[in-house]
Amino acid sequence: MTPPGDGLADQEEFWMLLVLLAALLLNWPLLTMTGPDKMLMGFPLRLIYLGIIWLSIILATYLFDRRTGR
Amino acid sequence: MSSAIFALEAMVVYLLLLFGIAHYAEKKREAGQSIVSNPYVYALSLGVYCSAWTFYGSIGRAATTGLGFLPIYLGPSLAMLLGWLMIRKMIRISKQFRLTSISDFISFRYGRSYAIGALVTVVSLMVITPYVALQLIAISASIHIVSEGQTLWLDTKLVVALLLGAFAVMFGARHLDPLERHEGLVAVVAFESVVKLIAFLAVGSFITWELFGGYSEIVEKVLANQDYSHLIEIEYVSWFSLTLISFFAILLLPRQFHLMVVENSDEPHLLKAMWIFPLYLLLINLFVPAIAGAGMLLGTPGLKDMFIITIPYQQNQAALAFLVFIGGVSAATAMVLVDSVAVGNMMLNELEMPRLMRVIGRGRDLPGLLLNLKRLNILLVVALGYLFSRAVGYQSLADIGTISFLAASQMAPAALGGLYWKRGSREGAIAGMSAGFLIWIYTALLPTLAKGGWISQSLLDQGPFGLGLLRPTQLLGLELDIWSNSVFWSLLVNGLLYVLVSLMSRPSPEEQAQADGFVDAYQPRKAVIPEEIRSIRIGTLAEVESTLARYIGEEKAARSIETELARLGARPEKLDARQMLELWDHVEKTLTGSLGPSATRIIVQDRTAVRPVAEPARPSQPAYRLEIGKIYLSASMGYQVFSDQVTHGIEGLCITYREPEEVRLEGGFSQTPVIQLSHKRGGEERTISPTNLPLLFVTIKAFVESSKGSIIMLDSLESLIQENAGLVPEGEVLDFVSQLERLARSGRTRILLTARPEALHVQLERDVNAVSSLLFTHIPLPAYLLKVFVATLTARADDPEVVLRETNNLLASGILGSTDSAASCDPDMMGVAPLEIDPAIKLGRRELFSFLRKLGKAIHKSESQFDIRGALKDLMEKYGFSRYELMLTPGTTYVLEDEKPFRSLEIFAELVKIGQDGLCISRYNPEVLEERYDIEPSRVIWLTQKSEEGGIRTVEPTNLPRLSSMISEFLRQATDPVLLMEGLGYLITQSNYETVLRFIQSQRDDIALRDAVLLVHIDPLSLDTKELHRLESEMEPLED
């Protein structure tokens, strides 16, 4: 474990901001941008959008684990 | 698979496999090679979140509400982003205080509140019962499908309940573990997470690519069908509400708290869980829309929830259907196992133990009883679930998951607020949670029961008594869906009450300490041990071990103490005060882990608690008037005075060497508690060993805090001092006496001590005599004080021999009177003579500090860097002395130069407070001084043109002869006088500089003759340089 530093990911406010941002992206009104009729390569844009946000959350926490746990 | 028997057999075989895994995990743990203590197992164990409600319910939900099932998994994924911030803090706190359930966690934060623990437990039990029922019904329904509708002669749900109950008992309550960690259980849950994920992915892949041409084909067909095309739409309000409550649920559901916090073996494991768990949730939901869509497109009959098993079964994929069946069993068993263990533990800690602690007698096999109770609780949880499943059908339970998430969310303001907000109080938490739970019952539970036909639908349609505004699902006319309506009102009222009531209430010291421990969890740990007992010895090792053994068994207690001693680096035969307190701290934590915070508080209180009782008051007036906040000595009338007080309505505590019954009989009272100072144990009466001064003090303090305006009688301090002489260091006796004195001065009690005149340094002139300071009354306390002060100086000096030599020299010079036994410095002796102080030496405050000042000067000659004030600072504070007592030399006039006289007034107030006779000559109205500095108006002479009225003494600024005569009168009567003169500028303005200077010069002489201290405040800017210099030359500066 590396000791806490001054990096962005070491600051509590950063994670709070990230949660707020993710919550915003996953809710009204941003979710309306992916209206039910919008498709991307024959697939509903809404499903792709939700999948990307979900994967981004996983990626952010994965990178934090790599950085902190090393 | 063709029969229910076969399905049940398969389930039994699967449970046996789980049994093997759990057994293996336990064996490895015992061998010190834990397979559970790794981040991947930990992360997978969090998959218990996905119960049968997820495994089957997600598909049903996706088939009816479309994407509406997703927020249940997005909320926890969002929560994981705060893992390192919030969950780590919960883990840190739980490990530090050995908290083993969510109810422990919340109740401990709010001063180990029994009410909060009980409230959380009762609601958890209410929620868990239908949830367990749901799991039993789900397994039973899947057995029904795979056995082609065959039925058993026995109720399938009963068989499943029996199997799961037995399994939960075997691995959740095999033994009492203060940490409540169950590696076998964790291993099983992690394994089951893998099984259900494989089952889900396998059936999803089969349906997507075997039955259809891929995911997009299913989606296209669903969207092309007008009946299903709405499934891609989202109800935004409901979406947000479900995301919010599932965010809270992942942190606060009993099973999640248990696995995520209690079973965490290493904080860094959380780092992996933070991304593996959201990934797990993503994967397990990947095929949910596809399976739901396929089920509808294929026209699959039966419950939509069961599409996952019905589709492969209809497609003659028996092996796949079997895998899904096992996956469903995994989802249900994991939930039932963990929740029954977690809630069973909560029931024991929060509901049963506090009651048990009060009624159970000594000699019972408590560890055995606790273990059996824990097992019984687990079985009770499963049994209640089974009974509930008999009463309702699956459809009525479909919303149970959401309801329980909502209930768990009601703990969020108290639990999460308590993590970050120190002002959050017990009253606030109770008010918020109670209101939240009531609104939850009204807006979520009742509508669900109405939906199931348990209560009348008219309540929902028309509201109670036809009041439309009170309709549960549209409270106050709010047009929201059922869940959003409940989330909004319950959390709003809950949060508001939590904050408002917290702001209006004042936490107890214990609650404040817990709040600090929670909010500042990452800061170095502060001692929870109260200040007053921190430095004095408490109990023996045998007492510590026997207390623990009573609750967790002798073997475990011995092992636990041994481990703790090793950690402290202490030897049993030589424990110091700090180590003993650490041991008690350890015992308290271990008991908290085993019995819960509420029961532990009762045990701790039982060690010290004596309940105040008021005797029936006699109609007459009491013969003696003893003021609260004072200490009294009585030579021969102590018991009569005490009896007079307690029989006239004052709550009393008698501490005596005599037989309690004899004391009661003689005193004519029956209820008042009497503690006998005795080394014997057991018996009807409360006894405390006279050599256990810390326990005695804590007991007195606890009594004072729980009573109002009480009286404490101690017979006698002299005997206590004698009993402890040579057994404990003098400092410990002094600590006891000074803390007793401080307790009396706190203004909540009066203390009455019996004393033989020949054992005192003070004269007893009446039946009861008020004394200003106990430390200087009894032989040999002043000698102890001197020894302790000299020992501290010796430890601080570069050359200890200098301190000893100078002390001996000063003692030999006779400045303290009798020098018979004080050793003098013999130049022919090798080295320095040891310090010998006559135990009967009579020493007042002034003499002590005069001696110390002289000693400090003498040491300073040999060690120029030596600073006696710094060396004695801590000791002075400890015994309630003011540093100015050491700084100010009697017979001296000091000048304090400040713009305003605030510092001067503070110093004066401090000196008066510790017992010096004070007179303040001031420009301020005495009432203002009383309000700001607590200086009694009788001690003030007000410099004003106004005449005296209402007992306030005034002097005209030009009438300096009158002022001088008032000062002389005060100096004649006072024994330890201190004067403050401020308002010099006013005097000069009203008369002239020369007159005032002459007045000061004359007072200075009087001060020197009477051995008093005069503090003169001057505003340097109010005088010119020459005038200031002339004034300064008459006085000495006071430098801090």
Beta-strand runs (E) in B78-190: none
Beta strand B940-943 pairing with B917-922: parallel
CA separation for the pair B410, B491 (Å, rounded):
7
* Cβ distance of B232 and A46 shorter than 8 Å: yes
What confidence score (pLDDT) does residue A58 get? 95
B702 and B605 Cβ atoms separated by less than 8 Å:
yes
CATH superfamily label, B631-776: P-loop containing nucleotide triphosphate hydrolases (3.40.50.300)
- The b/e string for B779-805 (b: 16+ C-beta within 10 A; e otherwise) is bbbbbbbbbbbbbbbbebbeeeebbbb
* Cβ distance of A65 and B274 shorter than 8 Å: yes
Q: What is the third-level CATH fold of B888-1037?
A: Rossmann fold (3.40.50)
* Predicted-complex ipTM score: 0.93
What three-state secondary structure class fits B760? Answer: strand
What confidence score (pLDDT) does residue B151 get? 65
CA separation for the pair B183, B263 (Å, rounded):
8
CA separation for the pair B968, B1007 (Å, rounded):
9
Residues of chain B with CATH 3.40.50.300: 631-776, 888-1037
What three-state secondary structure class fits B415? Answer: helix
Return the bridge partners of B688, or none.
B677
Residues of B whose CB is below 8 A from A68? 84, 268, 271
Residues of chain B with CATH 1.20.1730.10: 21-410
Residues of B whose CB is below 8 A from A23? 78, 243
What three-state secondary structure class fits B883? Answer: helix
In tens, the pLDDT along B285-335 reads: 999 999 999 999 988 888 888 899 889 988 888 889 889 999 998 999 899
- H, E, C per residue of B993-1027: HHHHHHHHHHHHHHHHHCCCEEEEEECHHHCCHHH
Closest by CA to A27, choosing from B239, B481, B282, B79, is: B239
Contacts of B289 (CB under 8 A, 6+ apart): A47, B62, B67, B218, B219, B231
Residues of A whose CB is below 8 A from B243? 23, 26-27
Q: Per the structure block, which two tokens stand in for B851?
A: 């001696």
CA angle centred on B822, ends B821 and B825, rounded to 5°: 130
- Count residue pairs from A and B with Cβ separation < 8 A: 92
* Cβ distance of A68 and B84 shorter than 8 Å: yes
Looking at beta carbons, which pairs linking B386-391 to residues 24 or more positions away fall under 8 Å?
B386/B132, B386/B133, B386/B136, B386/B157, B386/B158, B386/B161, B388/B129, B388/B130, B388/B132, B388/B133, B389/B132, B389/B133, B389/B134, B389/B136, B389/B137, B389/B140, B389/B157, B389/B161, B390/B155, B390/B157
Low-confidence stretches of chain B (pLDDT beneath 70): 1-3, 149-153, 175-181, 358-366, 392-398, 524-540, 573, 575-578, 596-598, 601-602, 604-610, 681-684, 815-834, 1040
Measured CA to CA in angstroms, residue B152 lies from B6, B9, B140, B144, B384 at distances of 11, 12, 11, 10, 22
CA separation for the pair B291, B231 (Å, rounded):
13
What confidence score (pLDDT) does residue B420 get? 93
B297 touches A: beta carbon within 8 Å: no
Q: Per the structure block, which two tokens stand in for B919?
A: 């007179």
What confidence score (pLDDT) does residue B829 get? 42
* Residue showing tokens 């024994």: B975
* Cβ distance of B83 and A61 shorter than 8 Å: yes
Q: Per the structure block, which two tokens stand in for B687?
A: 């006894």
**Chain centre distance of CA B530:** 12
* Cβ distance of B74 and A68 shorter than 8 Å: no
**How many helices (H) and strands (E) in chain A?**
2, 2
Could you confirm whether domain B21-410 is CATH 1.20.1730.10? yes
* Cβ distance of B282 and A58 shorter than 8 Å: yes
State the angle between helix axes of B307-314 and B183-205 in degrees (0 to 180), rounded to the nearest 10: 50
CA separation for the pair B261, B596 (Å, rounded):
16
Query: What one-character-per-residue DSSP string does B427-480 give?
Result: HHHHHHHHHHHHHHIIIIIHHHHHHTTSS-THHHHH-GGG-GGG-GGGGGG---
Residue of A nearest to B230 (CA): A36
